[in-house]
């Protein structure tokens, strides 16, 4: 039974890696699971699969939508570019890699969509890398380091990954703030240290910036006099959003909605016209729908898998890790995120199971929240991850050329940081 599930999961990874749309891949693999588990196919698809999809959509669509609109407003008003330019100019050529990671992290931590950040940061990074003679192959790892590690999994962040557990555990975005912040700082230091080491190594080996980014760099130079909003004006909506979530403890939908309105009001001067504003909001709504549909598909597949005897045997084995419920929760979450090729998709599958199993045992919900959030940012970034593939294609690079560094910063180091976090819960009193 478990063997068939492993084959189904490997098949899903293979199909995603080969570029098959995740919705198609999950339906195909769900049918495979239903057949091999001797479960009714039509009932499994129209019932179990669709219930999983619809349940996740109902819980999180408004959050995806408002987050996408917030990011879009920050993009088309030039606010995201203004913040990125300010950070990059502050660090300068000597610390080009650090500048790109920090600029990316600030935007993501402030609630800007990772895709918006990619489109904004890429040309600026290419210009800076060219001036600093940093190999272009390191850009995907730099972006992942800033967008998909500490800014995605630390306390206080408005990332969807930090929000999903709230619906199941009754926690908030500040859950386990002290150990979570320490682990996040460790994670940030390790990813930045690794990437800076790779830059230094490339310089010793006389590896140059390659010509693939030259055209983009020229474009950036031509745009440098563009009228952008003041950077301090740009960060106000992000700061207010974080304050509403973490200080005033407002519902995430209210916080995001207020952030959108505040951003539009403060940056109104940079809104081309009412017509274009609605066009951008419509694009953001389309992006949000596409993004959540893919995540829902992964959750739907996970829901089908969760109904099989093989899955129940596997979960019993993982959750039965003696004396260490946080480790068991972390292993289960990161495994499911790896299967789904998505941090949010993995969490969507894992949270109902983890909440039902561990909360009755008296496990601290805040500790559980922070562990699963940190864990979902580990194996999610395997080669079949949708954003990893998009990032490499957009950057004109390949897995062969750039994925090794992506793996270190977005898989290996986050898993090390997860271990650090679990150890901290045992060291710091009151968390177990």
The DSSP secondary structure of 159-200, one letter per residue, reads -HHHHTTHHHHS--TTTTHHHHHHHHHHHHHHHHHHHHHHHH
- Cα separation of 184 and 198, whole Å? 21
Cα distance between residue 122 and residue 144, in whole Å: 12
The whole-number average pLDDT for the span 264-271 is 91
**Higher-confidence residue: 423 or 387?**
423
pLDDT for residue 321: 60
Confidence class for position 80, pLDDT limits 50, 70, 90: confident
- Answer whether residue 186 shows pLDDT above 90: yes
Can you state the angle between helices 177-204 and 96-109, rounded to 10 degrees? 150
Higher pLDDT, residue 143 or 20: 143
Q: What is the pLDDT of residue 214?
A: 45
- What mean pLDDT comes out for the span 312-341? 77
When pLDDT is cut at 50, 70 and 90, the band that residue 318 belongs to is low
Say which residues have a Cβ less than 8 Å from residue 352's Cβ, sequence separation at least 6: 168
Asked which of 69-78, 96-105, 145-154, 401-410 is least confident by mean pLDDT, the reply is 69-78
Nearest of 281, 342, 286, 295 to residue 71 by alpha carbon: 281
At residue 256, the pLDDT reads: 87
CB atoms within 10 A of CB 401: 16
Mean of the per-residue pLDDT values for the chain?
86
Q: Is 48:307 a contact under the CB 8 Å cutoff?
A: yes
Query: Residue 68: what pLDDT?
Result: 85
User: Is the pLDDT reported for residue 213 higher than 50?
Assistant: no
* For residue 217, pLDDT beyond 50: no
Give the residue from 123, 266, 354 showing the smallest Cα distance to 258: 266
Lowest mean pLDDT of 26-30, 209-213, 420-424, name the range: 209-213
Query: Shortest CA distance to 302 belongs to which of 39, 38, 29?
Result: 29
pLDDT band, very low/low/confident/very high, at 225 (cuts 50, 70, 90): very low
The stretch 390-398 carries a mean pLDDT of 81
């Amino acid at each position: 039974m478990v063997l068939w599930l492993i084959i189904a999961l490997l098949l899903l990874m293979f199909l995603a890696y080969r570029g098959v749309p995740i919705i198609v891949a999950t339906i195909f693999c769900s049918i495979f699971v239903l057949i091999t588990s001797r479960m009714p196919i039509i009932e499994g698809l129209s019932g179990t699969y669709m219930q999983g999809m619809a349940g996740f959509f109902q819980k999180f669509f408004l959050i995806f939508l408002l987050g996408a609109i917030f990011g879009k407003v920050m993009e088309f008003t030039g606010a995201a570019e203004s913040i990125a330019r300010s950070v990059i100019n502050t660090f300068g050529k000597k610390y080009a890699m650090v500048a790109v990671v920090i600029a990316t992290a600030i935007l993501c931590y402030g609630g800007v969509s990772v895709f918006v950040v990619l489109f904004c940061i890429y040309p600026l990074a290419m210009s800076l890398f060219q001036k600093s003679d940093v190999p272009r192959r390191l850009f995907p790892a730099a972006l992942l380091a800033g967008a998909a590690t500490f800014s995605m999994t630390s306390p206080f962040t408005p990332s969807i990954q930090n929000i999903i557990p709230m619906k199941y555990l009754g926690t908030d975005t500040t859950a386990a703030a002290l150990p979570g912040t320490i682990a996040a700082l460790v994670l940030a230091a390790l990813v930045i240290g690794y990437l800076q080491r790779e830059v230094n190594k490339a310089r010793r080996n006389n590896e140059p910036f390659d010509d693939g980014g030259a055209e983009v760099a020229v474009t950036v130079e031509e745009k440098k006099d563009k009228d952008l909003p003041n950077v301090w004006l740009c960060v106000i909506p992000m700061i207010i959003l974080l304050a509403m979530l973490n200080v005033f403890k407002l519902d995430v939908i209210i916080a995001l909605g207020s952030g959108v309105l505040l951003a539009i009001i403060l940056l109104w001067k940079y809104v081309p016209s009412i017509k274009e504003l609605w066009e951008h909001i419509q694009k953001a709504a389309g992006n949000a729908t596409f993004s959540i549909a893919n995540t829902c598909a992964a959750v739907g597949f996970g829901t089908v898998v969760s109904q099989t005897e093989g899955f129940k045997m596997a979960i019993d084995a993982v959750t039965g890790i003696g004396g260490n419920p946080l480790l068991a929760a972390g292993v289960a979450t990161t495994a499911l995120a790896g299967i789904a090729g998505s941090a949010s998709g993995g969490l969507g599958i894992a949270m109902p199971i983890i909440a039902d199993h561990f909360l009755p045992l008296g496990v601290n919900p805040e500790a559980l929240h922070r562990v699963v959030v940190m864990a979902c940012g580990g194996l999610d970034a395997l080669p079949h991850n949708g954003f990893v593939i998009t990032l490499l294609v957009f950057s004109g690079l390949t897995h062969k050329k750039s994925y090794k560094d992506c793996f270190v910063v977005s898989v290996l180091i986050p898993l090390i940081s997860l271990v650090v976090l679990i150890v901290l819960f045992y060291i710091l009193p009151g968390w177990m």
